[in-house]
Amino acid sequence: MSGLMQGRGAWIRLGLAVAVLAACWWPRAAGAQPGDLTLVALTAALALSILAPGLGQAGRAVALLAMGLALSLAGGPLAFQQGGAEAGGFWAAAIAVWLGAWLLVALVAELPWRRGPWGLIAPLIFGATILWAWESVVRALDVPRVILPAPSEIAARLASSTDTLWIDLVQTFGRGALAGFAIGCGSAFLFALVVDRYPFLKRGLLPVGNFLAALPIIGTAPIFVMWFGFDWPSKAAVVVAMVFFPMLVNTVQGLAATEAMQRDLMRTYSASWGQTLLRLRLPAAMPFIFNGLKICATLALIGAIVAEFFGSPTYGMGFRISTEVGRLSLDMVWAEIAVAAALGSAFYGVWALLERQVTFWHPSQRGR
Amino acid sequence: MSRSLPVLTVTAVLIALWYLAVIPMNATWEYDQARRAGSELPFAEMVARTMAQERPVLPAPHQVVIGLYEQTVGCDAVGRRMCRETTPLTVQGFGQRVAAAFTSNRSLIYHAGVTLSATMLGFLIGTGGGILLAIGIVYNRAMDASVMPWAIASQTIPIIALAPMIIVVLNSVGISGLVPKAIIAAYLSFFPVVVGMVKGLRSPDAMQMDQMKTWSATGGQVFARLRLPMSMPYLFASLKIGIAAALVGTIVGELPIQQGGLGVRLLSGSYYGQTIQIWAALFAAAILAAALVGIVGLIERRVLARMGMKR
Amino acid sequence: MTKFAWAGMAAALGMTAGMASAQDAVTLQLKWVTQGQFAGYYVALDNGYYEEEGLDVTIRPGGPDIAPVQVLMGGGADVMVDWMPSALAAREQGAPVVNIAQPVVRSGLMLVCWADAGITTPEDFRGHKIGTWFFGNEIPLLNWLSQLGIPTTGGEDGAEILRIGFNVDPLLQRQADCVTAMTYNEYWQVIDAGVTPEQIVVFRYEDYGVATLEDGLWVNEENLSDPAFVDRMARFVRASMRGWEWALANPEAAAEIVLDNDETGAQTLEHQVRMVREMAALTEGSTGVLDEAAYQRTVDTLLGGGSDPVITRAPEGAFTHVVTEAASME
């Protein structure tokens, strides 16, 4: 019993034990989950979670791997082989799998290797658990497909519609979002340089820009579609409107981030405004500029998709999402949403990677 | 005066540019109409007409201002009786009209109130949830490792796609009206709060943490007396972003529910081609957002001053 | 358990909005926002016809992004107003919706084109831009183009389809040569904007034999096995048809009732009066009973959609006379 309550995640382990016991003892109908495989796998996972903290590093890693495998074996039948007559035992087993995954994440988080790709293990386990829970609940509660489809259906639709998804991606991201991002961030950067040169503009423009940035995009998007037509230029215009102000604010803040001592040093070298800018203030501003670029990266794709809701040719991610809802093909809608989320995160990741290369010297880039 | 002069100058220049832009944007329609009527259109008359179109491509600033007035406390918005009995030129009359506007669904003030109620509720939920999540991330390594990337990814999902589905799912369990809108607002506002609070709760440096250790402070005391106070500036910065995000979320959430609110006014202006209605609702939303951010800023200055952290 | 706890449980577990009260609760989900298109139901509500039948009716307006079928399947409404093509397509998708009444017997759908774009017959759609709404409203247009053999990919030989918002600006701003319009709504918006009827050409779907049935009342098939539900629906349909009769005889008063119920405050009286008058033309002669010949015409039109049919097989059990029979019985 002492192994049960030892170390991190003690309470979770206790909850896991209770849930596994409940799942084993609850009477179950024939053909309904939890089946024997699930119960055996759950018990194995519980045992492994008690053993793991006591092992050495390599042993612990193997034990956690085995525990992950056991939980997958337990959760798989719960999600995909439901018999339709699930009772309390099913929910106990489901809670057990959830707690087991939580425990696994807690134990994995303690492993010493967390830089680079190893850092992705815990979020992936968490994400996989959410997907598993979604699948199980949708099937167990018999949720109508036109309200919320199961992840397996969404994955199937993703696989079968790659050509449509690609055309939409090119239209929305390749044309609308990227063009808007480039124009918006580029012009915001240049504008920030101008604003920096003339402090009068700074005091006047930032409050007004604040107000203009508060105009809700839901209102400005139809107006831009009316002005710039139905194709990608209006989407790029919406993206420009969305990313201009955050990028401007961040760049202005970055340009002000140098210390007085550093600026004085440049004066002693009789550097001109341009030289000071290039050699001191821009490199010092890089952390803020990249912060702005990262924020704008996520905003760009969202802006392009929202703009497509208000008028577009018959392709594009926003178009597909809004019209497939009308056709009740919710699996296609979620497939598009998944692509949008993955794309947005990847675009964010590109800038985060670049940031690490360029601003390696900044404290925020050190490990914790 | 020196503080407002730059703002006033920039505003004046922008308004001048706006007036200039109205002419070419609305000119096409005027020339089209003249051509179909077979008549000539001199330049001066064309300019005058572009400033007074009913369905302009770009309404002139005065049209937007008049539209805003008419749709907040104008005669159409407050009802015939109020219009006859009060005048907006006196303080008392203006106040009476505003009071009447709160209950009339033809007035933007009423719709702003509807939007505001959902925004405040969503903002509270989002802030509360965000702070709790931030505390979890800072204190629990498992949560730190697993939840943060998904919180970032959640913001890449376009909420306008999810909003109708969230509302249908919530309706199917009997929750309708204010709460679904608030939940969508909370979805958009929790992320800035999480990011800001995580940064803030981690901002005490090693020296300060050691100091607390020398005083043998418990975990709770370290939280309440060191981490939480030091996170206040970050919290308020995020709150300003969060409340603007909550307003945007509410407007998005109103569209599928269609029970009043500025978002509904924005869209219904679009359906019936009433451009001025769109612009008036747009500016009302922006004014509301600016006011909310301003109020948070005021509270921030007071709180930080009392805590001795005046920036 | 106390009565309160039972009522609380019933509200939590129940799938219908609206608590049970002395009168039977019915929730109607409209296809679009509050406007004269649905005058009959609002008249029945305000004039007390629903109350006389012992019904407590809540009318939920629709809008963009609101799919009435979704709301119905989610339990947010008992009965919805929807167009037949999109309801039949949903039925084929697995949503068991059934038509119980058809108040609107003629189609108000049309295409409005600029006369100077050189479009005089449907064949001229080739090489031009047509703006249409989606969310179920694109089905009649895509169907028609498919029957004419006009591809929708644009270019010289095809028509370029644009998804437009629910207003006529794309036509007025010349971003599209033709736009979808309803006889009772968008057509009048074009006229209101200063365009004269000589400057435009209209193509009514009814005139070209590609019209499909529009506003009908649909319910979830699973509920029809409950006789109490059928009875509620019968009373609802009966009171709604009374509302339509009154609305069509008193268009100005009906428009005022619509305005009173409009939550957005954005409607104008003149536009709504016109809308109600046009609805009179579309509902004239209707008793609410679905005409099977008209239903078959709609199904045939949808099945004949060429390479991309809206429905791939004839629907079975998509309509029922059970409710209308129960309604006229008394």
Asked if this assembly's ipTM is beyond 0.90, the reply is no
B169 plus B84 within the same structural domain: no
Confidence of residue B1 (pLDDT cuts 50, 70, 90): low
Please name the chains neighbouring A, where neighbouring means 3+ C-beta pairs under 8 angstroms: B, C
pLDDT, position C209: 83
Nearest to A327 among C73, C89, C170 (CB): C89
Residue A40 CA to its chain's centroid (Å): 34
Report the top-level CATH class of A159-365. Answer: mainly alpha
pLDDT tens digits, B186-233: 999 998 899 889 888 888 888 999 999 999 999 899 999 899 998 888
Comparing alpha-carbon positions, the chain C residue that sits nearest to A229 is C175
pLDDT, position A333: 92
B82 plus B157 within the same structural domain: no
pLDDT, position B310: 61
pLDDT, position C194: 82
B184 plus B204 within the same structural domain: yes
Q: What angle do CA A80, A86, A91 make, to 5 degrees?
A: 85
A interface mutation test: which of B11, B137, B160, B241 has the most A CBs within 10 A?
A: B160
Name residues 65-94 of chain A within 8 A of B (Cβ): none
Q: Residue range C130-137: average pLDDT?
A: 85
* pLDDT of A166 over the 90 cut: yes
B147 plus B30 within the same structural domain: no
pLDDT, position A350: 93
Q: Distances from the Cα of B70 to the Cαs of B88, B99, B107, B113, C58, in angstroms?
A: 11, 15, 8, 17, 31
Nearest to C70 among A147, A229, A314 (CB): A147
Regarding predicted confidence, which is higher, A305 or A108? A305
Chain C residues with beta carbon closer than 8 angstroms to that of A218? none
pLDDT tens digits, C171-192: 988 889 999 999 988 998 888 8
Q: Residue range A81-90: average pLDDT?
A: 76
Are A323 and C65 an interchain contact pair (Cβ–Cβ within 8 Å)?
A: no
* pLDDT of A365 over the 80 cut: no
Name residues 216-275 of chain A within 8 A of C (Cβ): 222, 225-226, 229-230
In a domain, B235, yes or no: yes
Write the CATH number for B222: 1.10.3720.10
Confidence of residue A116 (pLDDT cuts 50, 70, 90): low
In a domain, B82, yes or no: yes
Strand order in the sheet with C55-60: C55-60, C24-29, C79-82, C216-220, C97-101
Pairing of strands C216-220, C55-60: unpaired
Most confident stretch, A72-81, A108-117, C225-234:
C225-234
Comparing alpha-carbon positions, the chain B residue that sits nearest to C199 is B36
B79 plus B209 within the same structural domain: no
B52 plus B81 within the same structural domain: yes
Q: Residue range B246-260: average pLDDT?
A: 86
Nearest to B263 among A130, A218, A226 (CB): A218
What is the overall mean pLDDT for chain A? Answer: 86
pLDDT, position C18: 42
Helices of type H across chain C: 3-13, 39-46, 49-52, 68-73, 84-92, 139-148, 169-172, 186-192, 227-249, 251-260, 269-283, 292-303, 322-329
Q: Residue range C52-71: average pLDDT?
A: 87
Residue C25 sits at the chain B interface (C-beta within 8 Å): no
Comparing alpha-carbon positions, the chain B residue that sits nearest to C63 is B256
What is the overall mean pLDDT for chain B? Answer: 86
* pLDDT of A204 over the 80 cut: yes
Decide if C172 contacts B55 (C-beta within 8 A).
yes
CA dihedral A363, A364, A365, A367 (to 10 degrees): 90
Confidence of residue A3 (pLDDT cuts 50, 70, 90): low
Q: Residue range B267-284: average pLDDT?
A: 84
B97 plus B168 within the same structural domain: no
What does pTM read for this prediction?
Answer: 0.85
d(CA C272, CA C35): 7
**Phi, psi angle pair for A18, to nearest 5°:** -60, -45
pLDDT, position C305: 66
B264 plus B119 within the same structural domain: yes
pLDDT, position C22: 62
Nearest to B63 by CA among B226, B276, B209, B258: B276
DSSP 8-state code for residue C28: E
Decide if C43 contacts C246 (C-beta within 8 A).
yes
Nearest to A341 among B141, B156, B244 (CB): B156
Name residues 106-165 of chain A within 8 A of C (Cβ): 144-147
pLDDT, position C221: 92
Are A146 and C175 an interchain contact pair (Cβ–Cβ within 8 Å)?
A: no
d(CA A45, CA A14): 13
Nearest to C12 among B169, B174, B274 (CB): B174
Are A222 and B252 an interchain contact pair (Cβ–Cβ within 8 Å)?
A: no
In a domain, B75, yes or no: yes
Chain C residues with beta carbon closer than 8 angstroms to that of B29? 172
pLDDT tens digits, B60-92: 999 999 888 888 888 777 777 777 777 777 888
Q: How many domains does chain B divide into?
A: 2
The residue segments making up the domain with residue B59 are 4-101
* pLDDT of A31 over the 80 cut: no
DSSP 8-state code for residue C162: E
Are C173 and A226 an interchain contact pair (Cβ–Cβ within 8 Å)?
A: yes
d(CA B208, CA B215): 11
C interface mutation test: which of B32, B54, B171 has the most C CBs within 10 A?
A: B171
pLDDT, position A368: 45
* pLDDT of C7 over the 70 cut: no
Q: Residue range A93-97: average pLDDT?
A: 88
Chain C residues with beta carbon closer than 8 angstroms to that of A327? 89, 93, 136
Sign for the pseudo-dihedral over CA of C72, C76, C82, C86: negative
Last residue of a domain, one of B101, B119, B136: B101
Helix (H) or strand (E) segment spanning residue B268: helix B262-271
B239 plus B128 within the same structural domain: yes
B75 plus B115 within the same structural domain: no
The structural domains of chain A, with segments of one domain joined by +, span 2-143, 159-365
B184 plus B123 within the same structural domain: yes
Residue A137 sits at the chain B interface (C-beta within 8 Å): no
Sign for the pseudo-dihedral over CA of C297, C299, C303, C305: positive
Q: Which amino acid is at C168?
A: V
Last residue of a domain, one of B101, B130, B164: B101
In a domain, B311, yes or no: no
Last residue of a domain, one of B101, B133, B154: B101
By three-state DSSP, how is residue C250 classified?
A: coil
B76 plus B197 within the same structural domain: no
C interface mutation test: which of A164, A230, A235 has the most C CBs within 10 A?
A: A230
pLDDT, position B187: 92
Nearest to C67 among A145, A310, A326 (CB): A326
Nearest to A119 by CA among B149, B81, B239, C249: B149
